[in-house]
């Protein structure tokens, strides 16, 4: 322990010699305009990859990864996301899906309100099928998994074959030696 302490005492603690490498490895302390621009890009295109961001801003993918994973960046990203008013950007996938379902139901309802002769048969049948399933009507198909132990199965087949051979052998009349010769 004394050796470790003596080595640590030899390390100078001057501001001119940082303990961390420069740049992104230290983490983001202050958000700069490039970071804000990157945040805007991420918000406007959530599917953008870190490689695409790196190419766009002229940095390495590693640098972008370190910046994005920093607490300061994540905090600013959350802050900017909360500022947005556009519901299509703020809506979660579930909200979007729910909206699609309601809109689809409206369209389907309009189509089904036409005279019966003008409604295609497959539209009426498919609507009946899906809506009854959604309400819990109809037969439920349950998937059953059957496990077969191959070793036991082969052993059982072998035993059955042996029994069959013994039974067939018993059915064959004994051979008379006088008939052979």
CATH number where 24 lies: 1.10.10
Considering the domain architecture, whether residues 81 and 37 belong to the same structural domain is answered as yes
Is position 77 within any domain? yes
Round to whole Å and give the CA distance between 93 and 41.
19
User: What's the confidence (pLDDT) of residue 164?
Assistant: 87
Task: Confirm whether 146 is domain-assigned.
Answer: no
In a domain, 143, yes or no: no
- Using CA atoms, how far apart are residues 12 and 4, in angstroms rounded to an integer? 15
Residue 152 lies in a domain: no
Number of domains in the chain: 2
Q: In this structure, are 40 and 72 located in the same domain?
A: yes
Domain identity same for 35 and 52: yes
**Contacts for 36 with CB less than 8 Å, ≥ 6 apart:** 76, 80
User: Same domain for 76 and 44?
Assistant: yes
Residues of the domain holding 58: 18-85
In this predicted model, what pLDDT tens digit does every residue of 152-167 receive, in sequence order?
A: 878 888 888 899 888 8
pTM of the model: 0.35
At 5, the pLDDT band (50, 70, 90 cuts) reads low
The CA-atom distances, in angstroms, between 93 and each of 41, 84, 87, 90, 118 are 19, 16, 12, 9, 35
Structure tokens at 10: 């030899």
Query: Who's near 124: CB < 8 A, 6+ residues apart?
Result: 112
pLDDT in tens, 23-35: 444 555 677 878 8
């Amino acid at each position: 322990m004394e050796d470790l302490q003596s080595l640590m005492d030899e390390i100078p603690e001057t501001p001119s010699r940082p303990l961390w490498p420069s740049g992104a490895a230290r983490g983001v302390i202050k958000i700069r305009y490039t970071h804000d621009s990157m945040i805007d890009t991420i918000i406007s295109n959530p599917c953008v990859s870190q490689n695409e961001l790196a190419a766009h801003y002229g940095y390495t993918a590693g640098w972008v990864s370190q910046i994005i994973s920093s607490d300061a960046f994540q905090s600013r990203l959350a802050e900017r996301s909360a500022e947005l008013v556009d519901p299509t950007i703020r809506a979660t996938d579930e909200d979007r899906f729910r909206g699609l379902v309601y809109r689809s139901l409206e369209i389907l309802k309009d189509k089904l309100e036409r005279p019966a002769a003008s409604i295609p048969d497959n539209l009426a049948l498919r609507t009946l099928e899906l809506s009854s399933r959604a309400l819990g009507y109809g037969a439920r198909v349950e998937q059953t998994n059957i496990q077969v132990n191959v070793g036991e199965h082969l052993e059982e087949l072998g035993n059955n074959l042996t029994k069959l051979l013994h039974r067939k052998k018993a059915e064959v009349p004994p051979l008379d030696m006088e008939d052979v010769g």
